[in-house]
């Protein structure tokens, strides 16, 4: 009963980053190949920033939060913590919201 959980990753962790990497590895699904801990935190950061900036124009807050999360996801992708689809998703969200904001500000929509 003592060997119910594999604790070698936690025992070998020396820093906070090692603990986060271990937790992300523990939440990895086989076919996905990436853990859900770090992408989940990134999505939570996006929605918290969106709600915090909501007092301004909702479109401007969407542009700001998606751009910041795009930059964060690029750095996390270089560390191999998030899949490429997350970076592409934030890039599409940023591009779409900036395009819509430009179109509405210029009066085309």
14 found inside a domain: yes
Looking at the structure of the chain, the number of domains it has is 1
Degrees, nearest 5: CA angle 22-41-29:
50
Length in residues, the chain? 109
The predicted pLDDT at position 2 comes to 47
Question: 92 pLDDT band (50/70/90 cuts)?
Answer: very high
Question: 78 pLDDT band (50/70/90 cuts)?
Answer: very high
**Which residues neighbour 26 within 8 Å (Cβ) at sequence distance 6 or greater?**
9, 35
Parent domain of 83: 8-106
Mean pLDDT value across the chain: 86
Query: Cα–Cα distance between 20 and 14 in angstroms, integer?
Result: 11
Query: Cα–Cα distance between 85 and 4 in angstroms, integer?
Result: 34
In the predicted structure, residue 30 carries a pLDDT above the cut 70: no
2 found inside a domain: no
91 found inside a domain: yes
Question: 48 pLDDT band (50/70/90 cuts)?
Answer: very high
């Amino acid at each position: 009963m003592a060997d119910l959980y594999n604790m070698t990753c936690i025992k070998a962790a020396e820093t906070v980053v090692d603990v986060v990497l271990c937790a992300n590895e523990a939440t990895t699904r086989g076919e996905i190949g990436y853990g859900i801990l770090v992408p989940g935190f990134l999505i939570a950061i996006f929605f918290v920033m969106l709600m915090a900036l909501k007092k301004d124009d909702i479109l401007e807050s969407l542009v700001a939060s998606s751009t910041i999360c795009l930059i964060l996801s690029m750095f996390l992708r270089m560390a191999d913590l998030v899949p490429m689809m997350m970076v592409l998703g934030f890039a599409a969200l940023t591009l779409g919201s900036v395009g819509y904001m430009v179109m509405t500000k210029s009066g085309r929509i």
